[in-house]
């Protein structure tokens, strides 16, 4: 393949790389590597390797990551639709490994869409702790929400907010923070032709200023002794080593730690940060905005620490260009440490009606339809609260629940008692219009924020009936459902189900718990892993409940 690279970029890389430049350029004649990462929320790494329909080759820096042949089309297999793996560029798996997420951690993924790194974090949490995943783009949060639901994540909150606004509600809160920063995208030129075409629009200068401000903000959200991982997919030292050196000068209580699997990567280039400093001091016009903001020379100590950051080069490994810096806070946390509670404010997130966007999260939205849906949802939300839109403008903590708001919890009790196994109490439940969620966090934290999902979406309540959501099915283990139907990934039935077609299924094929009839909601599984709902009816008919916007095309 051949990529049209911006001439300015080529000249800069030649100046930086010297003898390595030709090897670097030769890498653009090679095809990008395809990879997938096993979703251990649904299947173990060993189990997947046993049943994988693809030839797998391990990615050295990610224990659950594998190279696959792109011609195998892993996005066109029933396992993909069942959420057994995430298709991900191999280098992009490295930042989360560097974050070292442990079950029970409170984690923020600040720039998360479309959700690859968030699903990787969620798998590491194993359903314990909390993941707050955010993206500033409302359009991109649609894909983020879909992926979190498809991969069976139960303990995540999805936001569409600026870092500054999130910081007002989560000061000193998170154990781990991932900043996969907006950048000029140079490392993706081989993979994405549009990234090369748009390079001048995403200037190195503008991105470096944005990154500096983001890092300044996220430091206020980190708990004592926590960790920030900063990553980019660019080669520019202004956005990499220099951004980290600026942060370290402003935050002497942080230090750089060599990331996991660093032996597979090259170290950061502190001499390039020095070179950038010289260019600024000489009045280089490309960096004029940095110099104009009250420039202060960087310390030698901070620049030297960038040698413990790492770079992933496309001519030295099987992946695209990446940069990773692990920033550890040096305080020792008191075992009794509890993040401060945010103040109560006058605006609740519930006063900003959000549509449940799982139906077509990956498609562009027709603006007229979007506005019409907004009006309908506001009316439904007002009616469900049994009060006028004017009187609903109170905080969620001060408003007295009305019967319509209590009813969804009762409907959930009835549904879970009849259709599910295990303990399904109503603790941490949030009603959001007609939708019901299980929240992994105190609702007070979300006040004033643009919330796309306040937790695990369970379903909707309407006309005295609870309708389970696809996100509920996707996150269930088969044993948690009282009725199950297992389809083989190799069978035409699995494809038919994923296309939304009605299936003819004899009653004896529905695996039921004792004293449960086949009639009712059935958890449809593909090779033992949950894929979605069906509803078995008399006449051997399985009504398909797989969402229209998610279907096999």
Torsion-angle region of residue 23: left (phi > 0), alpha (psi -120 to 50) or beta? alpha
pLDDT at 303 over 90: yes
Alpha helices in 295-432 (DSSP H): 300-305, 367-385, 403-419
Q: Using 50, 70 and 90 to split pLDDT, how confident is the model at 487? A: very high
Average pLDDT, the chain: 88
pTM of the model: 0.89
pLDDT tens-digit series, residues 411-453: 999 999 999 999 898 889 998 888 999 999 999 999 999 999 9
Number of Cβ within a 10 Å radius of residue 539 = 7
pLDDT at 493 over 50: yes
Q: Using 50, 70 and 90 to split pLDDT, how confident is the model at 203? A: confident
- 3-state secondary structure string, 348-361? CHHHCCCCCCCCCC
pLDDT of residue 492: 96
pLDDT at 105 over 50: yes
What 3-state DSSP class applies to 504?
Answer: strand
Q: Are 357 and 145 in contact (CB under 8 A)?
A: yes
pLDDT of residue 528: 96
pLDDT of residue 398: 35
pLDDT of residue 358: 40
pLDDT at 82 over 70: yes
pLDDT at 133 over 80: yes
pLDDT at 387 over 50: no
pLDDT of residue 395: 33
pLDDT at 540 over 90: yes
For residues 280 and 399, which has the higher predicted lDDT (pLDDT)? 280
The percentage of residues in the chain with a pLDDT greater than 70, rounded to a whole number, is 87
pLDDT of residue 284: 63
Please state which of the ranges 129-138, 155-164, 199-208, 534-543 shows the lowest mean pLDDT.
199-208
pLDDT tens-digit series, residues 404-420: 555 888 999 999 999 99
pLDDT of residue 266: 98
End-to-end Cα separation, the chain, in angstroms = 28
Please state which of the ranges 80-84, 244-248, 362-366, 389-393 shows the lowest mean pLDDT.
389-393
The arithmetic mean of pLDDT across residues 196-223, rounded, is 88
pLDDT of residue 379: 41
pLDDT of residue 308: 98
pLDDT of residue 14: 97
The arithmetic mean of pLDDT across residues 279-305, rounded, is 75
Q: Are 440 and 130 in contact (CB under 8 A)?
A: yes
pLDDT tens-digit series, residues 320-354: 999 999 999 999 999 899 999 998 887 777 775 45
pLDDT of residue 202: 67
Strand partners, 465: 462
For residues 277 and 292, which has the higher predicted lDDT (pLDDT)? 277
Please name the residues in contact with 509: beta carbons below 8 A apart, sequence gap of 6 or more: 485
Which CA distances in Å does 378 have to 352, 381, 392, 443? 9, 5, 11, 21
Q: Which of 553, 474, 383 is nearest to 154 (CA)?
A: 474
pLDDT of residue 369: 39
Q: Is residue 233 flagged as an active site residue?
A: yes
Please name the residues in contact with 510: beta carbons below 8 A apart, sequence gap of 6 or more: 483, 484, 485, 518, 522, 536
Q: Using 50, 70 and 90 to split pLDDT, how confident is the model at 294? A: low
Please state which of the ranges 5-19, 235-249, 395-409 shows the lowest mean pLDDT.
395-409
Q: Which of 233, 461, 512, 525 is the catalytic position?
A: 233
pLDDT at 362 over 90: no
CA angle 457, 460, 466 (to 5 degrees): 115
Cis omega (within 30 of 0) for bond into 515 = no
Q: Using 50, 70 and 90 to split pLDDT, how confident is the model at 385? A: very low
Please state which of the ranges 371-375, 510-514, 525-529, 534-538 shows the lowest mean pLDDT.
371-375
**How far is Cα 112 from Cα 179, in angstroms, rounded to an integer?**
8
Dihedral angle over CA of 112, 116, 122, 123, nearest 10: -160
Q: Using 50, 70 and 90 to split pLDDT, how confident is the model at 129? A: very high
pLDDT of residue 240: 96
Please state which of the ranges 149-163, 279-293, 448-462, 501-515 shows the lowest mean pLDDT.
279-293
The arithmetic mean of pLDDT across residues 142-146, rounded, is 95
Burial of 126 (0-12, 13-18, 19+ CB in 10 A): middle
pLDDT of residue 347: 75
pLDDT of residue 186: 92
CA angle 162, 177, 437 (to 5 degrees): 70
């Amino acid at each position: 393949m051949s990529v049209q690279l911006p001439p300015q970029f080529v000249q800069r890389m030649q100046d930086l790389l010297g003898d390595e430049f030709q090897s670097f350029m030769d890498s653009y004649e090679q095809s990008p590597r395809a990879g997938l990462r096993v979703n251990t929320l649904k299947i173990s790494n060993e189990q997947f390797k046993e049943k994988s329909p693809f030839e797998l080759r391990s990615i050295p820096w990610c224990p659950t990551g594998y190279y696959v042949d792109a011609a195998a089309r892993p996005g066109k297999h029933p396992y993909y639709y069942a959420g057994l793996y995430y298709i991900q560029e191999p280098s992009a798996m490295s930042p989360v490994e560097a974050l070292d997420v442990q079950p029970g951690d409170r984690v923020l993924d600040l720039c998360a869409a479309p959700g690859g790194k968030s699903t990787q974090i969620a798998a590491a949490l194993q359903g314990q702790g909390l993941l707050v995943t955010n993206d500033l783009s409302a359009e991109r949060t649609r894909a983020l929400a879909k992926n979190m639901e498809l991969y069976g994540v139960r303990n995540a909150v999805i936001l569409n907010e600026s870092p500054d606004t999130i910081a007002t509600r989560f000061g000193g809160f998170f154990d781990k923070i991932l900043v996969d920063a907006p950048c000029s995208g140079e490392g993706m030129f081989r993979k994405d032709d549009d990234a090369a075409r748009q390079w001048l629009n995403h200037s190195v200068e503008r991105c470096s200023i944005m990154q500096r401000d983001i890092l300044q903000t996220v430091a206020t959200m980190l708990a004592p002794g926590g960790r920030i991982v900063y990553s980019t997919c660019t080669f520019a030292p202004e956005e990499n080593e220099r951004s980290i050196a600026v942060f370290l000068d402003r935050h002497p209580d942080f230090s750089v730690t060599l990331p996991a699997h660093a032996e597979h990567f090259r170290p950061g280039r502190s001499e390039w940060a020095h070179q950038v400093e010289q260019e600024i001091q000489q009045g280089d016009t490309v960096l004029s905005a940095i110099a104009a903001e009250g420039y202060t020379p960087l310390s030698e100590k901070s620049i030297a620490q960038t040698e413990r950051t790492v770079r992933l080069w496309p001519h030295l490994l099987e992946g695209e260009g990446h940069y990773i810096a692990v920033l550890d806070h040096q305080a020792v946390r008191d075992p009794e440490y509890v993040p401060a509670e945010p103040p109560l404010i006058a605006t609740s997130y519930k006063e900003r009606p959000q549509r449940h966007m799982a139906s077509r999260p990956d498609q562009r939205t027709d603006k007229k339809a979007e506005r019409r849906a907004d009006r309908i949802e506001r009316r439904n939300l007002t009616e469900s609260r049994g009060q006028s839109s004017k009187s609903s403008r109170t905080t969620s903590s001060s408003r007295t629940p009305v019967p319509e708001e209590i009813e969804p919890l009762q409907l959930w009790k009835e549904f879970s008692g009849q259709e599910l196994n295990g303990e399904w109490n109503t603790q941490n439940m949030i009603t959001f219009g007609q939708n019901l969620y299980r929240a992994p966090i105190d609702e007070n934290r979300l006040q004033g924020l643009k919330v796309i999902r306040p937790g695990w979406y369970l379903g909707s309540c309407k006309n005295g009936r609870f309708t389970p959501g696809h996100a509920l099915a996707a996150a269930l283990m088969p044993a948690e459902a009282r009725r199950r139907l297992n389809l083989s990934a190799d069978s035409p039935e699995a494809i038919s189900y994923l296309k939304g077609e009605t299936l003819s299924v004899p009653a004896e094929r529905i695996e039921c718990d004792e004293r449960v009839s086949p009639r009712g909601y059935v958890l449809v599984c593909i090779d033992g892993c949950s894929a979605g709902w069906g509803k078995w009816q008399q006449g051997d008919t399985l009504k398909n409940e797989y969402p229209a916007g998610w279907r096999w095309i």
